[in-house]
Chains A and B, each alone.
Chain A
């Protein structure tokens, strides 16, 4: 249901989750983020292959954003229409950096 690609170098990390981010898979993403977070100054989430995100996934993004606000920056790229709409409606587009 969810596979996550990972590239880490020099304080920069790029994670690309592929599939659906819901209650069961959100914990996987959270686990991987927790692994790379300590040494990361620049976190990029590539949502190119992400089909759908539920509130559980939003929760992971929220807590990650708060942590990155303190130690660097986080941005989300290649967001598709469905996910974009979810970000807009919930107001997350004001909190996250989306390119």
Chain B
């Protein structure tokens, strides 16, 4: 019983204020717009204040023919209001839900005060608040500002008719009226000649305020349009940003998935002493079309694959995943390299409307004998180092790329590796790595880098080539995926422990 009473009391607390605050608090996506518009408002206030002071000074110096007494007080009040508004702005660093209505109402009041003083001389002041309000990109706010301006400027016109600069065009006198100059402004002579307050006010509202208001309403319509268009632009941009962010995070996830697909734990076969193998793949974009693969088909056969899909990015990555799996499945069935390539080609050509293709080098090493059987489908020449020699390009015979044409048959070739031999496979990203002057790394430099580290193990050899590429390319952007694989055959040196 007591609790429900307490709840009611709390609910009665300031719902009006909270409600107002809720209505005025911008959506997340318009928060930035609002802060920018608040800053613009402060800028308008500062400029207006400066202009006012300049007018005051020029009037005091006699440059502007205004009666200083009637101008001085309202001008100073307006400057004071401006300063107070600016203090509020700075205090909250342009970021508070109440700043927007405060600025708009404040501007209307400041300009209305000046309007009451300068009347027809300051006709333009009426449009400033409503044009400024469009910067908030809120049609409702612009309409509110229009209505507020309509009412407040009507009041200032009313007041200014009898207290501000007299508008000489709206006073009518009977023909033959004589006016006597009293040594002051013409306005005084007119008032002394019988212009009544009622006459001044009526004429001001009909012939001064009303036409001005009609023009103002055109500006108001334009401002509403700007507010609405601006709002739509912000919303569209926000949607695009959200979409971009989602795609980016999906791409990052795809990068991880792809990286995990390639064997990446080294040393790869720590319990095998007969050989050592290492490989790396660096995509040019978040996901790439190059891949490598290696696995034991059985205890005595190591299969190695290096491949390069046509293109880069997401399409190449998808094609890469499919090719890798088909190749591995065929290899695990114990087929020869040529047969693996032929069967893979058949499978890929069956579903290849986009006509993508992949170059592949596939080799199967018989570990007990060092006999390497391999086949190439349009892939780069491997670099081979014999036991007591240096790395040289091995210009193997090769068939057409996989996925290019149905029904192609590939051919095996054989290479016998003596203990101490090394083989280096790569994709065209290595020789075609480009520096800022569009020069390519080339196979010459690649062989140099290989031979400078030829005595080391596969991992160091790959690092040496990578370092040489980095030194050559320097700041230029990586244009193509970089893939390298290096294997060393050590022979049957001792029994496996």
Q: How far is the CA of A18 from the CA of B401 in the complex (A)?
A: 26
| B418 → chain A closest CB, angstroms | 27
Query: Is A31 engaged at the interface, CB distance under 8 Å to the other chain?
Result: no
Decide if the interface of chain A is mainly helix, strand, loop or mixed. helix
Contact of A92 with B400 in the complex, beta carbons under 8 Å: yes
B288 to chain A, nearest CB (A): 12
- Asked if A97 CB lies within 8 Å of chain B CBs, one says no
Task: Check B480–A54 contact: CB distance below 8 A.
Answer: yes
From B310, B399, B400, B428, name the one whose CB has the most chain A CB atoms within 10 angstroms.
B310
In the bound complex, do residue B400 and residue A59 qualify as a contact, i.e. CB atoms below 8 Å apart? Answer: no
Tell whether B103 is near chain A: CB-to-CB under 8 Å: no
Chain B 139-164, CB-CB to A under 8 Å as 1, else 0, gives: 00000000000000000000000000
User: Does A90 count as interface, using CB distance less than 8 angstroms?
Assistant: yes
Q: Given A90-B400, A95-B405, list of 17 further CB < 8 A pairs?
A: A23-B312, A54-B432, A55-B308, A55-B357, A55-B359, A58-B310, A58-B401, A59-B357, A62-B355, A62-B404, A66-B355, A89-B378, A90-B378, A91-B400, A91-B401, A91-B404, A95-B400
| A94 on the B face (CB < 8 A) | yes
- Note all chain A residues with C-beta closer than 8 A to B399: 91
A55 to B310 alpha-carbon distance, docked (Å) = 5
Q: Please tell me if A56 contacts chain B, counting CB pairs below 8 Å.
A: yes
Partner of B378, one of A54, A66, A91: A91
Separation of A76 and B4 alpha carbons in the complex (Å): 89
Which chain A residues have a beta carbon within 8 Å of chain B's beta carbons? 22-23, 54-56, 58-59, 62-63, 66, 89-92, 94-95
Instruction: State A85–B309 Cα separation when bound (angstroms).
Output: 18
B311: A residues at CB distance < 8 A: 23, 55-56, 59
Q: Distance (Å) between the CB of A16 and the closest chain B CB? A: 20
15 sampled A-B residue pairs with Cβ under 8 A: A23-B311, A55-B359, A59-B357, A62-B355, A62-B357, A62-B404, A63-B355, A89-B378, A89-B379, A89-B398, A90-B378, A90-B379, A91-B398, A91-B401, A92-B378
Query: Of all chain A residues, which has the CB nearest B378?
Result: A90
Question: Does chain A have a CB within 8 A of B26?
Answer: no
Asked if B377 is at the interface (CB within 8 A of a chain A CB), the reply is: yes
Closest to A82 in B: B440
Task: Report A45 CB to chain B, min CB distance, Å.
Answer: 18
Does B293 have its Cβ within 8 Å of any Cβ on chain A? no
Residues of B within 8 A of A (CB): 308-312, 355-357, 359, 377-381, 398-401, 404-405, 428, 432, 479-480
**Least CB separation from A90: chain B residue:** B378
B355 adjacent to A59 (CB under 8 Å):
yes
Looking at the assembled complex, report how far the CB atom of B34 sits from the nearest CB atom of chain A, in whole angstroms.
40
Report chain B residues within 8 Å CB of A55: 308-311, 357, 359, 428
Q: How far is the CA of A26 from the CA of B378 in the complex (A)?
A: 20
Which chain A positions have C-beta within 8 A of B356?
Answer: 59
Q: For B310, give its contact among A59, A89, A91, A95 (CB under 8 Å).
A: A59
With a cutoff of 8 Å between Cβ atoms, the chain A residues found around residue B379 in the complex are 89-90
Q: Which residues of A sit under 8 angstroms from B401, Cβ to Cβ?
A: 58, 90-92
Contact A89 B381, beta carbon cutoff 8 Å: yes
A92 to B356 alpha-carbon distance, docked (Å): 14
A55–B319 Cα gap in the complex (Å)?
14
Q: Which of A62, A89, A91, A94 has the most CB of B within 10 A?
A: A91
Q: Which of B311, B380, B399 has the most CB of A within 10 A?
A: B311
| Given contact pairs A54-B480, A55-B310, A55-B311, A89 touches B380 in the complex (Cβ within 8 A) | yes
Please give, as numbers and ranges, the residues of chain B lying within 8 Å of A56 by CB-CB distance: 310-311
B354's nearest neighbour on chain A, judged by CB, is: A59
A2 to B353, CA, bound (A): 27
Cα A54 to Cα B380 in complex, Å, equals 13
Name the A residues within 8 Å of B480 (CB-CB): 54
CA distance A56 to B381 in the complex (A): 20
| B377, B379, B398, B400 pick with most chain A CB within 10 angstroms | B400
